[in-house]
Amino acid sequence: MKRLTLITMLLATAMVARAFDFSEAAPTGQTLYYTITSGSTVKVVSGTPKPTGRLVIPATTQGYSVTEIDRMAFSNCTGLTSVSIPGSVTTIGMRAFAGCSSLTSAFLAEGVQSLAMMVFSSCTALDTVSLPTTITQLAAGCFGMTAYMTNGSHWQDSVLYVGRYLVAVQSSRTAPLIVADSTLGIANDALEYCHISKCVLPSGLHFIGDFAFKDCQLLDTVRLLGATPPSLGGDSFQGTSTSLAIAVPCNSATAYSAAQHWSQLNIVEDTCPEPPVAIATAQRSAIATTVSSGILHINGAQGQPLTVCDIAGRRILHIAAAGNDTSVALPAKGVYIVSVGASAPLKVCYL
């Protein structure tokens, strides 16, 4: 029995030892723990002692690139006050910083892409968050129960943005929602159970997260201003009306219908505007005009009174045409009205 107990203790010790592959001091002095994930990459994992104070996670350590922060790696590090995450880290795992009650600021560099569920949840002092433009996924609850979320000054008409990302809309909002032009992405579950009927999404939007519009049963129209479809979660519109119209710009319905998950929705293309008509001559007139390098050439006006006015009716020229080809210098680009004798006036565009 004693031998069995000893073997069990040795195995337990070995398992603890294998919880990380090596440790190294961070630039700010705290000990960080790493697991090797490939021949050139590592992820930060949980270890003891837990870091406190200001923490800067390095981009490289012992020749490896730091590409991931493991799930719960810093969970409940109650002495942690700020964290800076390098762009080499593409993925931050579930609840990686959850419960860090003294954490006041988090800075994520360009290159960070994915935040898993509840990354900063219950960080009750967290009021400063800097997110990069490279984010492609914001999972549900990333900022739940943080000071940022409870600070009313961060909300704009019942809408919460973190940087250039929409992360929450209060379900009490009923007014149509025009998402800010600068928005790059919509977090998972951001508008779930919303009571809006219409939503306009900007042309620069990169992604719409899973369950983003879940159970928005009053939603009848989502208008996208971008011709290129943003990436769409498979369940982004779960529980919405089957008659929901996804309005897209002229000549972009094919792109949306071919994009993943969009093809399952009711895509409605805006009517394309009539192409502009360049009016150089009138069919019912016996004269012809051309514009070249700011010079209006009028043919077929010999001996006829010739008047050229701008679109506001101001007379630019009034002469008796001396020949079949009369040249007039136009003062600026615009639309001009040409009258020759009794012929119908012409509109001439100088563009």
Q: Which of these three, 273, 305, 334, is where a domain ends?
A: 273
Say whether both 37 and 112 belong to one domain. yes
Say whether both 77 and 47 belong to one domain. yes
**C-beta atoms surrounding 4 within 10 Å:** 8
- The residues, ordered by sequence, that sit 6+ positions from 48 with a Cβ below 8 Å of its Cβ are none
- Token output for 193: 């159970």
Mean per-residue pLDDT for 195-201? Answer: 96
pLDDT digits (tens, 9 = 90+) for 104-115: 999 999 999 999
Mean per-residue pLDDT for 91-97? Answer: 98
Band of pLDDT at residue 99, cut at 50, 70 and 90:
very high
Residue 25 to residue 31: CA distance in whole angstroms? 4
The more confidently predicted of residues 281 and 216 is 216
Model pLDDT, residue 299: 74
Residue 301 CB-density burial (10 A; 0-12 exposed, 13-18 middle, 19+ buried):
buried
Say whether both 197 and 296 belong to one domain. no
Q: Say if strands 295-299 and 325-329 run parallel, antiparallel, or are unpaired.
A: antiparallel
Mean per-residue pLDDT for 66-92? Answer: 98
Residue 171 to residue 188: CA distance in whole angstroms? 15
- Which CATH number fits the domain that encloses residue 137? 3.80.10.10
In a domain, 118, yes or no: yes
Contact 146, 217 (CB under 8 A): no
In a domain, 158, yes or no: no
Domain of residue 311: give its range: 288-350
Band of pLDDT at residue 348, cut at 50, 70 and 90:
confident
Name the DSSP letter for residue 13: H
Strand-pairing partners, residue 247, are: 223, 268
In a domain, 283, yes or no: no
- Residue 9 has φ and ψ, to the nearest 5°, of -65, -40
Model pLDDT, residue 4: 45
How many Å from the N-terminal Cα to the C-terminal Cα in the chain? Answer: 97
- Token output for 288: 């012809």
Say whether both 143 and 26 belong to one domain. yes
In a domain, 11, yes or no: no
Say whether both 25 and 145 belong to one domain. yes
Say whether both 139 and 29 belong to one domain. yes
Say whether both 27 and 142 belong to one domain. yes
Domain total for the chain?
A: 3
Model pLDDT, residue 346: 73
Residue 167's identity, in one-letter code, is V
Residue 344 to residue 338: CA distance in whole angstroms? 9
Band of pLDDT at residue 17, cut at 50, 70 and 90:
very low
Q: Give the whole-number percent of the chain exceeding pLDDT 70.
A: 86
Q: CA angle, 27 as apex, 22 and 30 as ends, to 5°?
A: 60
The more confidently predicted of residues 269 and 310 is 269
Mean per-residue pLDDT for 49-76? Answer: 98
Owner of token pair 């010790």: 13
Say whether both 92 and 139 belong to one domain. yes
Say whether both 200 and 304 belong to one domain. no
Model pLDDT, residue 75: 98
Residue 291 to residue 328: CA distance in whole angstroms? 9
Mean pLDDT of the chain: 88
Contact 267, 277 (CB under 8 A): no
Model pLDDT, residue 289: 75
Name the DSSP letter for residue 38: S
Residue 246 CB-density burial (10 A; 0-12 exposed, 13-18 middle, 19+ buried):
buried
In a domain, 282, yes or no: no
Say whether both 130 and 25 belong to one domain. yes
- Inter-CA distances, 245 with 58, 79, 183, 239, 253, Å: 47, 49, 22, 14, 12
Mean per-residue pLDDT for 155-169? Answer: 97
Residue 28 to residue 320: CA distance in whole angstroms? 86
Band of pLDDT at residue 321, cut at 50, 70 and 90:
low
SS percent in the chain: helix, strand, coil, step 5: 10, 35, 55
In a domain, 141, yes or no: yes
Model pLDDT, residue 33: 98
Model pLDDT, residue 329: 76
Contact 68, 91 (CB under 8 A): yes
Is the pLDDT at 283 greater than 50? The verdict is no
In a domain, 328, yes or no: yes
pLDDT digits (tens, 9 = 90+) for 206-241: 999 999 999 999 999 999 999 999 999 989 999 999
Model pLDDT, residue 175: 94
Say whether both 235 and 192 belong to one domain. yes
pTM: 0.74
pLDDT digits (tens, 9 = 90+) for 24-48: 999 999 999 999 999 999 999 999 9
Residue 221 to residue 205: CA distance in whole angstroms? 17
In a domain, 203, yes or no: yes
Q: Which of these three, 126, 150, 174, is where a domain ends?
A: 150
Mean per-residue pLDDT for 167-180? Answer: 96
- Residue 148 has φ and ψ, to the nearest 5°, of -60, -40
Is the pLDDT at 144 greater than 90? The verdict is yes
Say whether both 125 and 211 belong to one domain. no
Mean per-residue pLDDT for 301-322? Answer: 72
Q: Which of these three, 150, 184, 207, is where a domain ends?
A: 150
State CA 19 to chain mean position distance.
38
Mean per-residue pLDDT for 178-194? Answer: 97
Owner of token pair 């998402």: 179
HSE-CB for 210 with a 13 A CA cutoff: 8
Model pLDDT, residue 202: 95
Q: Is 215 helix (H, G, I), strand (E, B) or coil?
A: coil
